């Protein structure tokens, strides 16, 4: 049976967050996802998700621009083509459109989901095979309130849901942030690890002063303290401190990865399928990191279940990641648009077994939350 692509539908879906999520550049009360439904002549539908954080505050793609660009420029390249040669189709997309990594990631995900369903195998199997079926997942404390964050963390440790915590800082004055982080680390003690994500908010001098104090307080990982393009600065910080540096916004894809490595950066890379134009690009970056002795971390754009599962299939093909993953996005949202939510337990998440992504849309919920 022919597997020509008949149509690609995109939907903006807004889901509320369970509490305000405060980052240095935005406070989120809802998350907006662009859901992609790629339908083929053989009756198979592939699902994908394009999600960013805080409108245009995180990067150059917004949910609304992704929908327009998918509908106007990207989807027309695929409609009428054979869905089974994903490498060829992604190369065509890259020829027609520069950048737009998040939108492209949704399309690659939908193509992988469709092909997996067609062959009766999981997306991880298509990517070479899963090495793990349970992956560790941390939680982000970002209510903006120290006591509330401590209660939230202690409850999650007691429930055996998470034991690694990432604190979002960089919005408040440095001295306040340092007090906040030290109080949380002291309250949690050795039961939990504490990391921070500054989301590019500091200059290098501020970073040097603050990181010394964070290291002293027992923080174990410092994520993107300075602006994304300052690769040499990130390399200097990684050499200066014992505490590990994690590049996030500064490492979108393997070209950035190579630039950081050439500058002498050591530490870890936050892999995100959204940053790298899809699972294949994120794995390319992971393989480069492995060759250079850079640590791996499975990152999120706070996607819902479809985007999170797509990433999990990719991360499952890698050796155990030194820094685990943060694929908790669905838990930050009050609702879900799939019939079977992900199962979070024992400080991690279970990889759905497929075929394809192994998720199914709940049409009623989708209608309820679609814009």
CA distance 193 to 184: 10
Euclidean distance between CA atoms 156 and 191, whole angstroms: 11
Q: Decide: is 199 part of the binding site for ligand MUC (CB under 6 A).
A: yes
Given a contact cutoff of 8 angstroms between Cβ atoms, the answer to whether 345 and 161 are in contact is yes
Rounded to an integer, what distance in angstroms lies between the CA atom of residue 256 and that of residue 249?
10
Task: Establish whether 204 is a catalytic residue.
Answer: no
Partners of 247 in beta bridges: 269
The one catalytic residue in 45, 49, 108, 326 is 326
Long-range (24+ apart) CB contacts under 8 A made by 246-249 are 246/195, 246/197, 246/221, 246/222, 246/270, 246/297, 246/323, 248/197, 248/199, 248/223, 248/224, 248/272, 248/299, 249/58, 249/59, 249/199, 249/200, 249/224
Considering the rule CB under 5 A, would residue 164 count as an interface residue with Mg ion?
no
> How many CA atoms are closer than 13 Å to the CA of 159, on its beta-carbon side?
12
Q: Of 104, 168, 185, 275, which one is the catalytic site residue?
A: 168
Q: How far apart are CA 328 and CA 302, in angstroms?
A: 7
300 touching ligand MUC, by CB under 6 A = yes
Active site (annotated) includes residue 152: no
Name the minimum Å distance from CB 248 to Mg ion. 4
We find the least distance from the C-beta atom of residue 26 to Mg ion, in angstroms, to be: 12
Stretch that binds ligand MUC, among 36-44, 77-85, 154-162, 297-305 (CB under 6 A): 297-305
Helix, strand or coil for residue 209? helix
**What mask, x for binding Mg ion by CB under 5 A, covers residues 39 to 58?**
--------------------
**Nearby residues of 289 by Cβ (< 8 Å), 6 or more positions away:** 257, 268, 269, 271, 295, 296
Look up residue 126 and give its two tokens. 């298509």
- Contact flags string 169-208 toward Mg ion, x per CB under 5 A: ----------------------------x-----------
Build a one-symbol-per-residue string for 237-276: x at contacts with ligand MUC by CB under 6 A, - elsewhere: -----------x----------------------------
Give me the residue whose beta carbon is nearest to ligand MUC: 140
CB atoms within 10 A of CB 66: 26
Which string of x and - marks every residue 132-151 that binds ligand MUC (by CB under 6 A)?
--------x-x---------
Name the minimum Å distance from CB 3 to ligand MUC. 35
Output DSSP code: residue 83: T
The residue from 61, 130, 326, 336 that contacts ligand MUC (CB under 6 A) is: 326
Residue among 149, 164, 248, 326 that touches Mg ion (CB under 5 A): 248
Tell me the number of residues near Mg ion by CB under 5 A: 3
Interface with ligand MUC, residue 53, by CB under 6 A: yes
The site for Mg ion (CB under 5 A) is made up of 197, 223, 248
Enzyme catalytic residues: 168, 326
Which residues in this chain contact ligand MUC in the complex, by CB under 6 A?
Answer: 53, 140, 142, 197, 199, 248, 299-300, 302, 326
């Amino acid at each position: 049976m022919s597997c020509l692509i008949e149509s690609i539908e995109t939907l903006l879906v807004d889901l509320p967050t369970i509490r305000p999520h405060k980052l240095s550049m935005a406070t989120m009360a809802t998350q907006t996802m662009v859901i992609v439904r790629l339908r083929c002549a053989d009756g198979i539908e592939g699902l994908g998700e394009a999600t960013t954080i805080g409108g245009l505050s995180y990067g150059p793609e917004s949910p609304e621009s992704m929908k327009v660009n998918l509908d106007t420029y990207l989807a027309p390249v695929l409609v009428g083509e054979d869905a089974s040669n994903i490498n060829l189709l992604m190369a065509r997309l890259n020829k027609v459109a520069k950048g737009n990594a998040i939108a492209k990631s949704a399309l690659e995900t939908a193509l992988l989901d469709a092909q997996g369903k067609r062959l009766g195998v999981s997306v991880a199997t298509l990517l070479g095979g899963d090495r793990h079926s349970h992956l560790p997942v941390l939680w982000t404390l970002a209510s903006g309130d120290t006591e509330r964050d401590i209660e939230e963390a202690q409850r999650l440790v007691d429930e055996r849901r998470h034991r690694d915590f990432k604190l979002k800082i960089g919005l408040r004055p440095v001295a306040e942030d340092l007090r906040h982080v030290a109080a949380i680390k002291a309250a949690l003690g050795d039961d939990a690890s504490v990391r921070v994500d500054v989301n590019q908010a500091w200059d290098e001098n501020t970073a040097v002063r603050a990181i010394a104090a964070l290291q002293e307080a027992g923080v174990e990982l410092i994520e993107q303290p300075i602006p994304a393009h300052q690769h040499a600065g990130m390399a200097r910080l990684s050499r200066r401190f014992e505490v590990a540096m994690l590049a996030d916004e500064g490492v979108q894809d393997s070209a950035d990865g190579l630039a950081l490595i050439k500058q002498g950066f050591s530490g870890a890379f936050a892999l995100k399928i959204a940053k790298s134009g899809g699972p294949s690009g994120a794995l390319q970056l992971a393989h480069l990191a492995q060759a250079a002795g850079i640590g791996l971390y499975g990152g999120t754009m706070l996607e819902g279940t479809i985007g999170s599962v797509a990433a999990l299939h990719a991360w499952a093909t890698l050796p155990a990641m030194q820094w685990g993953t943060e694929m908790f996005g669905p838990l930050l949202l009050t609702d879900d648009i799939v019939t079977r939510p992900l199962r979070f337990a024992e400080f991690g998440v279970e990889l759905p077994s497929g075929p394809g992504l192994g998720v199914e849309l709940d049409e009623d919920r989708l209608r309820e939350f679609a814009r």
